[in-house]
Amino acid sequence: SAVDYGDGPLLEARRLLHAVAAFAEHARAYMRGQLAGGPVQEDALWESLGHTKGAVQDALADDFNTRGVVDAVMGLVHH
């Protein structure tokens, strides 16, 4: 299908990019001990990472399902 380069999809892409960038910065701050919060539940983290990895692989194997990849990554970011 054709790629829509209209204002709506580009604004959505920008919003998603900012969410991923904020997630990455929060993760770095947590690892440096600069982010308040309790300890990470490692079992839940590894489960989420494994689920996301599988979902991304499935989406990529499905005729390069970009929307599926984005949804999987954003699910991890919002978890």
pLDDT digits (tens, 9 = 90+) for 43-73: 999 999 999 999 999 999 998 899 999 999 9
Distance, in Å, from the CA atom of 6 to the CA atom of 67, rounded to the nearest integer, reads: 16
Question: What whole-number percentage of the chain has pLDDT above 90?
Answer: 70
What local confidence, expressed as pLDDT, does residue 77 receive? 94
- 1 pLDDT exceeds 80? no
Query: What's the pTM value of the predicted model, to 2 decimals?
Result: 0.77
What local confidence, expressed as pLDDT, does residue 25 receive? 95
List CB contacts of 16: < 8 A, sequence separation 6 or more.
Answer: 70, 74
